Amino acid sequence: MTPDALVIGAGPAGLMAADRLLSAGCSVLLAEAKPSPARKLLMAGKSGLNITRDEGFATFLAAYAEAADWLRPMLAAFGPAEVQDWMRGYGQEVFTGSTGRVFPKAMKASPLLRAWLMDLGARGLDLRTRWRWTGAGFDTPEGPVVVTPKATVLALGGASWARLGSDGAWAPLLAAQGVALAPFQPANMGFRVDWSPHMAKHFGQPLKNIALIAGAQRVRGEAVISARGLEGGGIYAVSRALREGAALRIDLFPDLEAGALAERLAKRPKGETSANTLRKLGLTDARLALVQEFVRPLPPDPAALLKALPVPLQGSRPMDEAISTAGGIPRAELTEDLMLKRLPGWFAAGEMLDWEAPTGGYLLTACLATGRWAGDAAARFIQSR
């Protein structure tokens, strides 16, 4: 088979690369190992597809930390505003939530994905499912297949959620070609906590109206107490700092200064239990349970402790449970066009690249932006031959 372009991996980055190659007039074969495309995108959309953010570009870019300079031109070309316009082009109206997160009004990923796939098919995309890349070709339901394109875009995902397709199996295949890879690490993941039996009745309860503190990072967000530890958006936002060794502390009264909280605590009637005092201050259910789990008895002046409650962690959840991964193909192995220096004509995009970002729209936007960048570069490469 000799299409102009081969794209391997039918997630957001691969679909966007294929989209751009088709727009450039290239014939495109898109190979996907799973029985259907974009399974991780559909899973992410089950709780509401947070596809991007509505915030200033400098603030948005800062979320990518040390990768911000690398991703800057790609996100400038296809950032939050462009993502929203692109969605509207497929009939998906969007809205911005109170925290700046952007969602389609339909909330789910499936209407967008259906419209996108229909458009790509009408423009000539050759989508093959159950095609697993072996490095030299593909294992397919019809047997081994070798494809000889003019350019290839790899968009195989990271190394989390293997059942959805992101299994990292591509790493040894590229390493065998001499590509130096950064080790995979879990990102946007939960953390293990060894709860006492008394916490069992609180499993599944949310921790609302808190701030999470990890090193120099402080984030307003929510978490969920689970049988395995702590999960949820607030924990994911500080997961990198926690993974790198920072201790977790939780501000249970984020809207009160420590001095004001101390004054209120000092006014409690003599003989009143600490638990009743905290309940009167609005500390109930899961938040009160945390205090009772880790601090007994309360010290005489507990304000500072309640503003930074230490929560001992026993490490992160396994990588396959993480929403995303850090590691993969580092910038040094790629040209500015995202072409692999050791493999001319081979480009890479999405979570395969060694960048890390929190959830909240940053992950998906960068996958789309890098897929677009790699697709455009592959088209230029084909046209130059």
Q: What is the pLDDT of residue 118?
A: 98
Strand partners, 94: 104
Q: What is the pLDDT of residue 257?
A: 94
Q: What is the pLDDT of residue 145?
A: 98
12 pLDDT more than 80: yes
265 by DSSP, 3-state: which?
Answer: helix
Q: What is the pLDDT of residue 61?
A: 98
Angle at 161 between CA 155 and CA 162, to 5 degrees: 75
Residues 46-88: tens digit of each pLDDT? 889 999 999 999 999 999 999 999 999 999 999 999 999 999 9
Contact 323, 188 (CB under 8 A): yes
DSSP classification of residue 50? -
Residues 221-271: tens digit of each pLDDT? 999 999 999 999 999 999 999 999 999 999 999 999 999 999 988 887 887
Both tokens of 262, joined, read 């101390």
334 by DSSP, 3-state: which?
Answer: strand
| Alpha-carbon span 221 to 234, nearest angstrom | 4
361 pLDDT more than 90: yes
Q: Please give the radius of gyration of the chain, using alpha carbons only, rounded to the nearest integer.
A: 24
105 pLDDT more than 80: yes
Q: What is the pLDDT of residue 47?
A: 82
Residues 118-171: tens digit of each pLDDT? 999 999 999 999 999 999 999 999 999 999 999 999 999 999 999 999 999 999
Both tokens of 301, joined, read 């002046």
Average pLDDT on 200-213 reads 96
- Containing 285, the helix (H) or strand (E) segment is helix 285-294
Quick one: which of 285, 328, 44 has its CA closest to 161? 44
Domains and CATH numbers, the chain: 5-186+325-384 (3.50.50.60), 191-311 (no CATH)
Q: What is the pLDDT of residue 276?
A: 86
Query: Where do runs of H (alpha helix) occur along 37-183?
Result: 39-44, 57-62, 68-77, 80-89, 110-122, 170-175
Contact 345, 150 (CB under 8 A): yes
- Please, what sign has the CA dihedral across residues 246, 71, 115, 378? negative
Range scoring the smallest mean pLDDT among 19-33, 86-100, 281-295, 350-364: 281-295
Contact 176, 22 (CB under 8 A): no
182 pLDDT more than 90: yes
Q: What is the pLDDT of residue 246?
A: 98
DSSP classification of residue 282? T
**Which residues lie closer than 8 Å to 276 by C-beta, 6 or more apart?**
none
Q: Are strands 5-8 and 28-32 parallel, antiparallel or unpaired?
A: parallel
| Alpha-carbon span 308 to 304, nearest angstrom | 6
Q: What is the pLDDT of residue 252?
A: 96
Both tokens of 372, joined, read 């677009």
348 by DSSP, 3-state: which?
Answer: strand
| Alpha-carbon span 349 to 370, nearest angstrom | 5
5 pLDDT more than 90: yes
Quick one: which of 1, 353, 324 has its CA closest to 153? 353
Average pLDDT on 352-365 reads 96
CA neighbours closer than 13 Å in the CB half-sphere of residue 128: 19
Q: What is the pLDDT of residue 269?
A: 84
20 pLDDT more than 90: yes
274 pLDDT more than 80: no
Residues 305-355: tens digit of each pLDDT? 999 999 999 999 999 999 999 999 999 999 999 999 999 999 999 999 999
Contact 287, 207 (CB under 8 A): yes
| Alpha-carbon span 33 to 173, nearest angstrom | 15
3-state secondary structure 229-244: EEECHHHHHCHHHHHC
